[in-house]
Amino acid sequence: MNKHVGSNFEDFLKEEGIQEEAEALAIKKVIACMIEQEMISRSIPKTEMARKIGTSRSQLDRLLDPENTSVTLATLVKSTAAIGKKMIITFEDCPQTVVA
């Protein structure tokens, strides 16, 4: 019998111990896509974007890589400012939050 029948995807991720990793990856994909779309809409080439945030082209490629979740908050803030945006982070209550 399948132990996951009737459960939701979030429950599955929790049981597998990968919920936080999956959430981080999903968030990074959205951020990378948003930054890249703004760069396109504002006609900002990668070399100019890298210059604006004070980094190399290869570092910018890592920022725009949706699979790479190891990006610093400082880099995210600089990159959003470079595209004329402000990054805002919010916290929401999680159902059945377990405090360690």
pLDDT truncated to tens, each residue of the chain (100 aa)? Answer: 555 455 676 777 677 677 778 788 889 999 999 999 999 999 999 999 999 999 999 999 999 999 998 888 999 999 999 999 999 989 888 776 555 5
58 exposure class (CB count in 10 Å sphere: 0-12, 13-18, 19+)? exposed
User: Which CB contacts under 8 angstroms, 24+ apart, belong to 91-100?
Assistant: none
Any idea which fold 9-82 has?
434 Repressor (Amino-terminal Domain) (1.10.260)
User: Which tokens in the block code for residue 92?
Assistant: 């929401």
Note the pLDDT of residue 10: 72
Hey, where are the domains in the chain? 9-82
Residue 94 CA to residue 97 CA, distance in Å, equals 5
